[in-house]
Homo-oligomer: A and B are copies of this chain.
């Protein structure tokens, strides 16, 4: 693991996720660039002292050189380090599991994708929500034609944790989210907007060809955007709206996706992840539930019987499980197995960065329709 020292939220989440399905053992880390903090964080996690690194490049080289070196690295650093860290480990032949966003520019992302392909390594990107069984089922329904042709997309990602004045603690996870050098050129856009965008692609299977976007910053002294509004156009004529906000007063972590097809509507909110609403045109709503839907996709991502709710950590674990399946296949020279094919990878990351880049261009042009780079 790179990043994720003591006190870091997302590092702890990755470690729980890696444990749940018992496919990983944490044996080495560059948990902090500060040597003492790296050592102490490693000790708290029972790492051998010699495998507690304070430099990720050193770690990549040392682990690659060990007979029992790591097979995969989890990258949970601030955004600007995702690309250099991932590059170092891929150059050393080590598989990568990276937090989102893939990087802070489209070019960076494209380079990572090329490298992963060249080295034939797995590059998993933890777009967590795609691990929920009902979103897997939703995708299976779309692929089976059950919603018909897509017409409308409505997606939102809304939180309120940045709604307070900065002095009042509104940036309580450290300042790097407000620093363009570390966070990249987008605030809310890269932090949660890309999750929303990925979900639409994940479930619909479609990529918009153009966006029209406006970024806003509501809280004084904030450098980056804290609110994003986007219109979407698809080649088949479908239209959509995406909004992401971290100043959505009173919202915890709403990630709601609605797809309206010619035959049916799908409706999902990750705050109620054991509920997928499916409504046929003109008909009654159905509340689909993990243990009650019949798809291999949902079964693969479900651990317990109907009525035993699974949540965010299990969705996260699903990505780790799928990554393990994929890595084993690659190690054996086999194709990635069918059930792991929905794991988000570096290519999803590139798609997200292409979207972000178009959003930034549209906004800079005063909210003009802007074509995505292909």
- Residues of chain A touching chain B, judged by Cβ–Cβ distance below 8 Å, are 9, 12-13, 15-16, 19-22, 147, 151-152, 154, 156, 159-161, 163-164, 212, 214, 216, 218, 227, 229, 231, 237, 239, 241, 243, 245, 247-254, 260-265, 270-274, 279-289, 291-293, 303-314, 366-367, 369
Contacts and interface: CB of A to CB of B under 8 A. Distances in A.
Given A22-B19, A229-B239, A289-B252, A312 B313 contact: no
B311 A280 contact: no
Contacts of A16: 20-22, 303
Contact of A243 (B154, B245, B279): B154
A307 B151 contact: no
Given A164-B281, A284-B286, 4 more contacts: A13-B304, A20-B313, A151-B218, A251-B307
Contact of A265 (B249, B306, B367): B249
4 interchain residue pairs of minimum CB distance: A253-B307, A252-B307, A250-B279, A250-B265
Contact of A281 (B214, B249, B309, B313): B249
Quick one: copies of this chain in the complex?
A: 4
Contact of A271 (B151, B265, B274): B274
Contacts of A241: 229, 241, 243
Contacts of A262: 163, 249
A350 B313 CA distance: 34
A156 to B, nearest CB: 8
A214 B307 CA distance: 26
A146 to B, nearest CB: 12
A265 B154 CA distance: 20
Contacts of A270: 309
A291 B229 CA distance: 27
A283 B292 contact: yes
Given A22-B15, A237-B218, A313-B303, A288 B292 contact: no
Contacts of A216: 237, 239
Contacts of A261: 249
A212 B231 CA distance: 10
Contacts of A214: 212, 231, 239
Given A216-B239, A311-B311, A253 B284 contact: no
Contacts of A305: 9, 161, 252-253
A250 B304 CA distance: 17
A309 B315 CA distance: 10
A161 to B, nearest CB: 8
Contact of A231 (B252, B279, B280, B367): B367
Contacts of A274: 271, 311
